[in-house]
Structure 1
Amino acid sequence: MLKGIPPIISPDLIKILMEMGHGDEIVLADGNFPAASHSSRLINAHGHGVSEFLSAILEFFPLDTYVTFPVLLMDTVEGDERNPAIWKNYEDIFKKMSDFPVKIEKLERTDFYERSKSAYAIIATSERAQYANIILKKGVL
């Protein structure tokens, strides 16, 4: 155990987060996301939700201030709920934990999948909410 590290953050995940450099991206994936086929650096985080990881990671992970959108969401598909409740949850977490107003971009589903393939790593959660997938771009201290 280490002081100040949320217990949800595994040794493998802290290693990944520390290896990441400025501009690298990490995906927090919901339970429906094809995480294993989209990354060679996969963190198995089953049993937890995306919001739990977002809150824990933001305790020490700087978001990129040199880009317009340091956070990306998978946009909804026509016919589905336009503003999933989990997005409001994310906004509340960013307001609470970020030192600056966080701008969020929405990517079309297939674009999000393609972008995820180039992410540094993917955290595969058991999140059941639809459209809970989120990408964070690492900043500098």
Structure 2
Amino acid sequence: MKKHGIINRDIAAVLAKMGHTDQLTIADCGLPIPEGVPCIDLSYTIGKPEFTEILLELLKDFQAEKVYIASEIKEENPTVYSEITQLECPIDELTHDQLKERSRQSKVIIRTGEATPYANIIVQSGVIF
């Protein structure tokens, strides 16, 4: 049994398989899941688990070189936007429609119970050397 890091076996398995520039998406409960992209659904009620809770835990166990967010989040969800801007990696902005289209390239979508607007992020894998 793992002692540290992500203990969710599905998430841990995906992280172990990720290579440089592979992407995963962390989504609110409303983001459409593209056909063919696996979904790890962590939601158990509206708002739980929170988007930022999952994002911050994932980043403790994962090397990110950049993230993609919807530009609409700045005005529509300033609280989550403020938390994302505290990350120590570059942030690229797309429109929400572009983000949804780009999520089709993700190795997995991790669905949270978050129920605030535009609380979605695509995390691109970096390397640890």
Work out whether residues 46 and 124 of structure 1, in 8 Å CA contact, stay in contact via their aligned partners in 2: yes
Q: Which residue of structure 2 lines up, in the alignment, with residue 104 of structure 1? A: 91
Q: Which residue of structure 2 lines up, in the alignment, with residue 91 of structure 1? A: 85
Structure 2 counterpart of 1:14, which letter?
A
1:29 is the counterpart of 2:27 = yes
Q: How many residues align?
A: 124
- Sort the Cα spacing of 1:81 and 1:73 in 2 relative to 1 into closer, same or farther, 3 A: same
Work out whether residues 43 and 111 of structure 2, in 8 Å CA contact, stay in contact via their aligned partners in 1: yes
1:41 is the counterpart of 2:35 = no
- Sort the Cα spacing of 1:18 and 1:59 in 2 relative to 1 into closer, same or farther, 3 A: same
Q: Secondary structure at the match of 2:69?
A: strand
Map 1:118-129 → 2, pairs under 5 A: 118-129=105-116
Structure 1's consecutive aligned runs of 4 or more residues displaced over 4 angstroms after TM superposition are: none
* Aligned mates of 2:97, 2:77 — CA distance in 1: 18
Give deviations 1:92-124, integer Å, cap 9, x for gaps: 3x2xxx4xxx22111111111110001111001
Work out whether residues 84 and 131 of structure 1, in 8 Å CA contact, stay in contact via their aligned partners in 2: no
Map 1:62-73 → 2, pairs under 5 A: 62-64=63-65, 70-73=66-69
TM-score (norm 1): 0.79
- Sort the Cα spacing of 1:46 and 1:81 in 2 relative to 1 into closer, same or farther, 3 A: same
Give deviations 1:63-111, integer Å, cap 9, x for gaps: 12xxxxx11101218xx9356211112223x2xxx4xxx2211111111
Q: Which residue of structure 2 lines up, in the alignment, with residue 81 of structure 1? A: 75
* Aligned mates of 2:68, 2:35 — CA distance in 1: 17
Q: Could you tell me how far 1:24 is from its partner in structure 2?
A: 0.3
Structure 2 unaligned regions, length at least 5: none
Work out whether residues 42 and 124 of structure 1, in 8 Å CA contact, stay in contact via their aligned partners in 2: yes
Q: Could you tell me how far 1:34 is from its partner in structure 2?
A: 0.7
TM-score (norm 2): 0.86
Q: Secondary structure at the match of 1:127?
A: coil
- Sort the Cα spacing of 1:131 and 1:38 in 2 relative to 1 into closer, same or farther, 3 A: farther
